[in-house]
Amino acid sequence: MCLAVPAKLITHNGLEGVVDLHGNRLPVNIMLTPDAQPGDWLLIHAGFAIEKLDPKQAGETWALLRDVAQAAANSPAGSEADASAHSSTGKGDRR
């Protein structure tokens, strides 16, 4: 339940914003991060931005997730470990 996911703020109008999450546009409320500006990386939980992320760290996290996804895709197919690794890139980042 305490899952949160990093996403980039695209635009906002007052407290209502829109974030880019893996190419999807999602509505977000930014009342808990009122100084957020377009371009900021935010941690999103249940429709609310709960913190601004350090952009360098957020970028590293996404780079890591891409690496893991690529490693999973390149591994021999069919093993449980592969499935787990792939799963952790798809859903596991939503924390």
Q: Which residue has the tokens 């893996």?
A: 22
Instruction: Indicate the residue among 25 and 95 with the shorter CB distance to other proteins.
Output: 95
Q: Which residue has the tokens 């780079």?
A: 63
Q: Is the dihedral of CA 47, 50, 54, 60 positive or negative?
A: negative
Element (H, E) at 53: none
CA atoms within 13 A on the CB side of 5: 20
Instruction: Write out the binding residues for other proteins, residues 33-62 only, by CB under 8 A.
Output: 33-34, 43, 45-48, 50-51, 53-54, 57-58, 60-61
Q: Per rule CB under 8 A, is residue 73 in the interface with other proteins?
A: no
| Binding interface with other proteins (CB under 8 A) | 1-4, 29, 31-34, 43, 45-48, 50-51, 53-54, 57-58, 60-61, 64-65, 67-68, 71, 80-81, 84-85, 87-88, 92-93, 95
